[in-house]
Amino acid sequence: MFTLVLAGAVSGCAAYHEYEKCGHDGCPDDAKITAEVKQALARHPDLEGTDMVYVQTVNHVVYLTGIVDSGLQREAAESIAHKASGVTAVVDNISISK
């Protein structure tokens, strides 16, 4: 449990650092990247739409959160995010329910 909490704290610090670079309105293209990833997730048959995985982009870094049923679903979401135009990194904080 401690490792999970620590991982969340570290990724939260990284997100804040990226937020400082772009400010409240975000960096150019962040909204476009988020929309592209969400659309790709919604089209993926194993993910059943974007309501399972939440997407946020800060300074071209995509942050994924949510709960999926399997490691394969988690890997699919991360792979999809990496393929979006302009993405420099993906931070995968998706949990597996089983």
User: pLDDT tens for residues 44-80?
Assistant: 988 865 578 999 999 999 999 999 989 999 999 999 9
Residues 9 and 95 sit within 8 Å (Cβ to Cβ): no
Residues 18 and 58 sit within 8 Å (Cβ to Cβ): yes
C-alpha–C-alpha distance, residues 22 and 41, integer Å: 25
User: What is the reported pLDDT for 46?
Assistant: 84
**pLDDT tens by residue, 76-98:** 999 999 999 999 999 999 999 87
CATH 3.40.47.10 fits 2-96, yes or no: no
Residues 37 and 81 sit within 8 Å (Cβ to Cβ): yes
Split at pLDDT 50, 70, 90, the class of 22 is: confident
Q: Where are the domains of the chain?
A: 2-96
Q: What is the pTM of this model?
A: 0.75
